[in-house]
């Protein structure tokens, strides 16, 4: 493990030097790639350097413990337990950090929420879940933009598309993809019966120009008037843009901006992201076919979570997590749920790696 960490440290130092290289500075795409790659290694290198320092301190304390100076031996006895605890913690952290890095972890995301089974109740819950993520994003200091949405018949949302940008967005939200189920008594239910409705959430890493190449000849563009709230410009200009990718049939729509040009640029970003997600899904299916019994693949058709309002209970079915206080959850207090999912799947990845080792 030490050899691998030293190799990573050398690579980090080369990337750091590259950031001041005039050739790299002159190439925007290459500079971004180098900066991103360096950023992905920074935490691992910092932790390794801390581990190396504590290891040196630990070795020094052991030498003092075996020395002839009684006062230094007593001091070493006091220091050793704390140093051993630090070493154990740092070694555990290094094992997690050494897991194969998801290259998308530091990317921004495209978040799609769609009402599923349950009619109007599903649309209302879709609206609530969107607000839940917006509130969580605010606590994290992320920037959120509503790109497109359509309303349900009795309020709520049929679907909505958001962009979320900031630190570690995909790393934290990637396990939110899937079917979210709600169980509660709708306001329109006269008999007090509990209804079950579902929505789907899709979290996709935002693709960049260097990730996906889209040919202009493969795109069909339509313009239309924006719908919904938006002031005087709504329904007066053809600013909304719909793009159809002819080879795959993927359709994206953006009406966020008053400018057709800006909406097209955002729609192109959405299209690249969906094509990138399509390729990621293909790769994951290939990996999953080699490993049976995998828990919680993140497939968006998988029921991952239930929000049971009569029992004030949230259950994540993949990791066996149960927590109460649904009003707080819907207000965006989901940090513990998000972190529990990430910790669970990191531990699973560690175990999978041990199983694969000869």
Q: pLDDT digits over 5-30, tens only?
A: 888 899 999 999 999 999 999 998 89
Sign of CA dihedral 178, 182, 188, 189: positive
- What per-residue confidence (pLDDT) applies to 21? 93
The model's pLDDT over 247-293, given as tens digits with 9 standing for 90+, comes to 888 888 888 777 787 888 888 888 888 888 887 777 666 655 544 43
* The token pair that represents 75 in the structure block: 């001091």
Largest CA distance in the chain: 89
The answer to whether domain 2-97 and domain 216-279 are alike in fold is: no
Per CATH, which fold does 2-97 belong to? Methane Monooxygenase Hydroxylase; Chain G, domain 1 (1.20.58)
- What per-residue confidence (pLDDT) applies to 155? 82
**How many CB atoms within 10 Å of residue 197?**
23
Domain 109-205+298-350 -> CATH class: alpha beta
Indicate the CATH number of 216-279 among 3.30.160.20, 3.30.460.10, 3.30.530.20, 3.90.70.10.
3.30.160.20
* The token pair that represents 354 in the structure block: 């041990």
Domain segments of the chain as ranges: 2-97, 109-205+298-350, 216-279
Decide: 319 and 338 in contact? Cβ < 8 Å. Answer: no
* CA angle (253, 257, 259) in 5-degree steps: 100
> Which stretches in the chain have pLDDT values below 50?
229-236, 290-299, 358
Total-model pTM: 0.65
């Amino acid at each position: 493990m030490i050899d691998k960490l030293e190799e990573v440290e050398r690579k980090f130092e080369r990337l750091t030097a590259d950031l001041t290289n005039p050739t790299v500075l002159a190439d925007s795409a290459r500079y971004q790639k180098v900066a991103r790659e360096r950023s992905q290694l920074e935490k691992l290198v910092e932790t390794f350097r801390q581990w190396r320092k504590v290891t040196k301190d630990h070795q020094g304390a052991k030498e003092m413990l075996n020395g002839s100076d009684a006062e230094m031996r007593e001091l070493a006895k006091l220091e050793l337990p704390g140093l051993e605890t630090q070493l154990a913690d740092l070694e555990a952290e290094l094992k997690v950090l050494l897991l194969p890095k998801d290259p998308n972890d530091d990317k921004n995301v495209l978040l799609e929420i769609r009402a599923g089974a349950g009619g109007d109740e599903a649309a209302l819950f879709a609206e609530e879940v969107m607000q839940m993520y917006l509130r969580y994003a605010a606590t994290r200091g992320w920037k959120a933009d509503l790109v497109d949405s359509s309303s349900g018949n009795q309020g709520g949302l049929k679907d909505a598309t958001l962009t979320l940008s900031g630190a570690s967005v995909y790393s934290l939200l990637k396990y939110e993809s899937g079917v979210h189920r709600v169980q509660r008594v709708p306001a329109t239910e006269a008999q007090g019966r509990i209804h079950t409705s579902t929505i789907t959430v899709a979290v996709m890493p935002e693709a960049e120009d260097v990730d996906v190449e889209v040919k202009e000849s493969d795109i069909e563009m339509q313009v239309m008037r924006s719908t919904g709230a938006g002031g005087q410009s709504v329904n007066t200009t053809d600013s909304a843009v719909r793009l159809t990718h002819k080879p795959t049939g993927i359709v994206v729509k953006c009406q966020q901006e008053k400018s057709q040009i800006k909406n097209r640029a955002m729609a192109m970003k959405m299209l690249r992201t969906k094509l990138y997600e399509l390729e990621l899904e293909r790769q994951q299916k290939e990996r999953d076919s080699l490993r049976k019994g995998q828990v919680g693949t993140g497939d968006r058709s998988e029921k991952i979570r239930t929000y049971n309002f009569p029992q004030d209970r949230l259950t994540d079915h993949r990791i066996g997590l149960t927590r109460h206080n649904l009003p707080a959850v819907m207000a965006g207090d989901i940090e513990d749920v998000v972190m529990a999912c990430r910790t669970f799947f990191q531990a699973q990845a560690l175990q999978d790696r041990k199983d694969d080792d000869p």
